[in-house]
Amino acid sequence: MQTHFTATQLADPHLREADSILRTCVHCGFCLSNCPTYALLGDERDSPRGRIYIIKDMLESGGPARPSAVTHVDRCLSCLGCLTACPSGVDYMHLVDQARTHIEQTYRRPLPERMLRQILLWVIPRPALFRLSLLLGWPFRWMWRVVPGRLGRMLQTMPASFDSPSSIHAPQVFAAEGPRRKRVALLTGCVQTVLGARINEATIRILRRHGCEVVVARGAGCCGALAQHMGRDAEAQDYARANVRAWHDAGIDTVVINASGCGTTVKDYGHLLAGDSAFAAMAESIATKTKDITELLIELGVHRAVSPPKGIEIAYHDSCSLQHGQRITRQPRALLANAGFTVRDVGEAQYCCGAAGTYNILQPAISDSLGQRKTANLLATGATAMACANLGCMLHLSRFSDLPMVHTIELLDWAGGGPVPAALAGLHESVPAAS
């Protein structure tokens, strides 16, 4: 693609990077087949190729983003399906991040939208505040049908139940069982700390069983993805710096991540902090030490299942951040099969389920359409339950069917001697349920 940035613009490293990304696009359109918003809306401006043109015009003009450009960039899920499909290696991930930053810096959203985004940015990365807001809002959950706008949407997406606070999230070290093979830091996650403590508990159990000392490092917290996907670069970098410092000081061998959205972001810390001379090398080192839990288990050589479950068919849902962001599709399937589960692939696996961080709140109509489409594909497998690598997908998809939803690591932990995942307890009364 031809670009027309001025020499002055190209002196800016961000625009120089955008220019080189844009120039790799050859307009072939192969990416369209992987784009869920294009599949749903059929509008070229809601396809990767269309957005690339929009972003090019927006960045070249350098002025305030136009409302139409904001509309189409906002509708992008950052699912990165286009990244997987593109034969030319167009780095859409960093291009759309730049577009979001430009929009955030030059476009004034309506006040309610600004307030909503600010609230999400403030509350979600702070587990105590997030829990408090859920506790306060929970009694009014039923009112989502009558409360208009995004407030109603927030009530609608509120989970039916949430976990009690867990002591595992405090800074501490969990000793390895047997000789120590690795010292790993666990990113406990923001939403997961409040709504998915069981996932972190299962992760710690399985890592300890495999000889890992597990560190919950003091000072580590939100990965920064939430801020980054809202165009708030500086805040995302602050979160990244805090994590890099905490894990560096903890002297770990590996950072293990069980929330795939966070994993994609942490693996990109080298890029996010490339302009910070004090942190760039440390950030790159942490990024290269970061592994999804399934990658790490394969590397450790997972033990044979202690109590292989019988007759459980799992529809494995490839979360976008794992399949497109990290290109991990084989490892979870291999681990689940090794543990005794029958794994079913889900139709249209390349499409996002519509959760996409805060997208399900910010773009409710598209999010729900994608959720319903994914659910139809999940149910068509006839599986007993769905497994995936991202709590966000589980929470979102659980609104559309009664299919039990579990994190992959809950199943692997169960098969290795851990408790039955709570979501499956009713289905398998012969096996003692998780407390």
At 299, list the tokens. Answer: 């590397």
- Report the residue from 15, 19, 21, 48 that binds ligand SF4 according to the rule CB under 6 A: 48
Binder of ligand SF4 out of 21, 45, 49, 169 (CB under 6 A)? 49
DSSP labels, 315-333: EE---HHHHTSS---HHHH
| 89: number of Cβ within 10 Å | 10
From the CB of 118, what's the least distance to ligand SF4, in Å? 24
Report in angstroms how near the CB of residue 150 gets to ligand SF4 at its nearest: 21
Among 15, 31, 355, 394, binds ligand SF4 (CB under 6 A): 31
Between 25 and 124, CB nearer to ligand SF4? 25
Q: Which of 15, 18, 21, 25 binds ligand SF4 (CB under 6 A)?
A: 25
With CB under 6 A as the contact rule, which of the stretches 10-18, 83-91, 139-147, 293-301 interacts with ligand SF4?
Answer: 83-91
Total binding residues for ligand SF4 by CB under 6 A? 27
Q: Are 318 and 331 in contact (CB under 8 A)?
A: no
The structure tokens listed for 146 are: 């009558």
> Which residues face 215 on adjacent strands?
173, 185
Among 35, 191, 227, 366, binds ligand SF4 (CB under 6 A): 35
Beta-sheet strand order (sheet of 405-407): 342-345, 313-316, 385-388, 405-407
For position 343 contacting ligand SF4 by CB under 6 A, the verdict is: no
Q: What is the C-alpha to C-alpha distance for residues 2 and 100, in angstroms, rounded to an integer?
A: 22
d(CA 308, CA 320): 28
Q: Cβ 370 to ligand SF4, closest distance in Å?
A: 10
Round to whole Å and give the CA distance between 32 and 39: 8
DSSP states of 114-130: HHHHHHHHHHTT-HHHH
DSSP 243-280: HHHHHHHTT-SEEEESSHHHHHHHTTHHHHTTT-TTTH
Residues in the chain, total: 435
Query: Could you count the other beta carbons within 10 Å of the beta carbon of residue 125?
Result: 21
CA 243, CA 31: separation in Å to the nearest integer?
34
Span near ligand SF4 by CB under 6 A; candidates 46-54, 133-141, 239-247, 274-282: 46-54
Cβ closer to ligand SF4: 97 or 233?
Answer: 97
Pick from 86, 186, 187, 366 the residue near ligand SF4 by CB under 6 A: 86
Is 26 near ligand SF4 (CB under 6 A)? yes
* Footprint on residues 89-148 left by ligand SF4 (CB under 6 A): 90, 92
Q: Which is nearer to ligand SF4, 48 or 309 (CB)?
A: 48
- By CB under 6 A, tell whether 221 contacts ligand SF4: no
**Identity of the residue, 24 or 307, whose beta carbon is nearer to ligand SF4 in the bound complex:** 24
Q: Locate tokens 């501490």: which residue?
A: 172
Task: Please state the closest distance from residue 348 (CB atom) to ligand SF4, in A.
Answer: 13
Residue 64 near residue 341 (C-beta atoms within 8 A): no
- The minimum distance between CB 336 and ligand SF4, in angstroms, equals 26
283 binds ligand SF4 (CB under 6 A): no
CB of 310 to ligand SF4, least distance (A): 38
Cα separation of 36 and 377, whole Å? 14
- Shortest Cβ 79–ligand SF4 spacing (Å): 4
Shortest separation between residue 15's beta carbon and ligand SF4, angstroms:
19
Closest approach of Cβ 54 to ligand SF4, in Å? Answer: 11
Q: Is 27 in the site for ligand SF4 (CB under 6 A)?
A: yes
By CB under 6 A, tell whether 30 contacts ligand SF4. Answer: yes
**204, 412 Cβ separation under 8 angstroms:** no
Cα–Cα distance for residue pair 228/241, rounded to 1 Å: 14
Residues that bind ligand SF4 (CB under 6 A): 25-31, 34-37, 48-49, 51-52, 76-82, 85-86, 88, 90, 92
